[in-house]
Amino acid sequence: MKKFLITLMMALAPMTASAAGGAGVPLDSFEGDLTDQASLQRGMQTFVNRCMGCHEAGYQRFERAAQDLGMPNALVEEYLILDPAAKIGEHMKSAMAKDDAATWFGAPPPDLTLEARLRGSDWLYTYLRSFYKDESRPWGVNNAVFPDVGMPNVLEDLQGKVVNHCTPEELAHSQDEIDPLTGKTMGGCLTVDEAGSQSAEEFDKTVYDLVNFMTYMGEPSRLESERLGTKVLIFLAILFVFAFALKKEYWKDVH
């Protein structure tokens, strides 16, 4: 009996521990919630409106997202498929030609379907909130976790203009939690100078939803497995009652 319980606990442990982040620079931690459909829907909307001008999610179909996120196809067709030629069954492709993009930006905007898996959701969540003004860069912005990035701050109108008060070394250092010499954290280096249309909390929420959606895209089957996982647990619990009753029945004459 004890053995059975231990085995059961070991089988369940990975579900609660979830995928812990890898080593590297400490980033703002991101705890996604793939069951929050409203958040995923808002994230998809931001992704379509703000990112797909340059990036695509070439392995994600609109229809599958509609299904997984609980949205009627007609609504997705009307509000989320901006390219009039694209159909619901198609992948989330960008209209921008790759060669043009590489010429304009120096580096082509990569496909973002699996970006959350590639870089990690923590990284994405930090990256999108870490742009700051830097006149020496072509787009007038730089990024704390992606130095000399070739992407403009496409969320600047929401976040506002961010200034950096630290030297590049301090900025890089400040991500190691708190710098013991200066006592500064990354939050201390970057502050909003000119307010955007959202407050700091609202902006964090917008990026949260966006990264939540990108996490879903990276692992569409996780939504499915989480739902299935609950059913399996209920099944196991019921099975346990019967197995236990049966065990009692078998052993009752032995003792």
3-class DSSP assignment, residue 68: helix
Q: Closer to ligand HEC by CB, 179 or 207: give it.
A: 207
Contact 186, 179 (CB under 8 A): no
- Count other Cβ atoms within 10 Å, centred on residue 107: 11
């085995």: which residue's tokens? 7
54 among the known binding-site residues? Answer: yes
Q: How far is the CB of 101 from ligand HEC (least distance, A)?
A: 6
Q: In this chain, which of 93, 105, 200, 233 binds ligand HEC, going by CB under 6 A?
A: 105
Query: Which range in 84-92, 111-119, 177-185, 231-239 contacts ligand HEC by CB under 6 A?
Result: 111-119
Contact 24, 172 (CB under 8 A): no
255 among the known binding-site residues? Answer: no
Q: Closer to ligand HEC by CB, 45 or 73: give it.
A: 45
Q: Is 50 in the site for ligand HEC (CB under 6 A)?
A: yes
Q: How far is the CA of 136 from the CAs of 121, 122, 147, 148, 162, in angstroms?
A: 29, 27, 12, 10, 15
* Dist CA 106 CA 67 (whole Å): 36
Q: Is 51 in the site for ligand HEC (CB under 6 A)?
A: yes
Pattern 122-141, ligand HEC, x by CB under 6 A: --x--xx-------------
Classify residue 136 as left (phi > 0), alpha (psi -120 to 50) or beta.
alpha
Q: Is 145 in the site for ligand HEC (CB under 6 A)?
A: no
- Phi and psi angles of residue 99, each rounded to the nearest 5 degrees, phi first: -65, -45
* Dist CA 210 CA 229 (whole Å): 25
Q: How far is the CB of 40 from ligand HEC (least distance, A)?
A: 14
- Phi and psi angles of residue 90, each rounded to the nearest 5 degrees, phi first: -85, 165
Number of residues that bind ligand HEC (CB under 6 A): 21
Q: In this chain, which of 30, 41, 55, 213 binds ligand HEC, going by CB under 6 A?
A: 55
Q: How far is the CB of 197 from ligand HEC (least distance, A)?
A: 15
Contact 95, 40 (CB under 8 A): no
Q: Is 115 in the site for ligand HEC (CB under 6 A)?
A: yes
Site residues for ligand HEC per CB under 6 A:
50-51, 53-55, 105, 107, 109-110, 112, 115, 119, 124, 127-128, 149-152, 154-155
